[in-house]
Structure 1
Amino acid sequence: MDSSSKCNNIANALRKLKRYDEARAEIERAIECYRPFGIAVETWKSFDILHDIEIADGNQQAARAAWAQARQAYLAYRQQGGYPSQGNGGKIVEHILGLLSQQKSTEVNALIHQLGNDPNASESLKKLMQAVLTILSGSRDPALADDPALDYDDAAEILFLIARLEP
């Protein structure tokens, strides 16, 4: 697994040098090395690096596929009890669920609107808050997690939230 981590680092360095074919080969090597270990080795990070490589190389379709794989790997991690470890999105969703369990819907709405309108919030966090509001209003549409403006981990949090709220 240590060599896979090195492949991640090498792939990132090669991407920054715009040596995309070599970067892609390195990250694909890391993904293959990680495959037998499942979520224990955070494969979503390698898929995210592949996404960045494909974006930089102008391969939108391949970038989208890598993003979807990162989202799926991170979702599997969360579904198997993993903690929200990436950005703030997962932690915020967990906080919102905690407030809801305490029947503090006024605080939930205030938090969602505050974060959704914060000029310093990332575009992904704003989209996540819009999706959470839509979900809390009754939607269970998994397409909410398909917005390309979402980071893969925020998109996974949307799917995880939907799954936890379904009867």
Structure 2
Amino acid sequence: MSVLVTGAPFDPAAELAAFGAPGGAGAVVSFSGVVRAEAGRVASLRIEHYPGMTETAITAFGDEAAARFSLSAWRVVHRHGQLAAGDPIMMVITAAPHRVDAFRAAEYLMDWLKSRAPFWKCEIGPDGEARWVDATAEDETALSRW
């Protein structure tokens, strides 16, 4: 059960291999998100956060997910700083005795990260124009199902 908020690139395959199959797990689910180019409208994404506050908030939510879905273990990795389109931005890994719980917990964590995690995102277009990004109506609908 851990959180890594980092300015450095990460390797999703290495993260998953290091996570392994924790004791009691019958299922391990992972999801990796990448910076979308949005049909060429986004060249990069700048992500800002408050160190300490971000990790504390994600840890609390991860622990809530662990209790709600009987997780054996979980991990969230999230980048900050300047990321190019196509770069890995985040990863969620969950382990549970049964696959349904592992999948649901991963979705739960991803929905929360997308809508409520304390990150501020600014899309930079190919022309250098910057636009701050908020959670969309679809993000809020996804979160509301929980």
Q: What is the TM-score with the length of structure 1 in the denominator? A: 0.26
Q: Larger relative CO (CA 8 A, sep 6+): 1 or 2?
A: 2
Q: What is the TM-score with the length of structure 2 in the denominator? A: 0.28
More helix per residue: 1
Larger Rg: 1
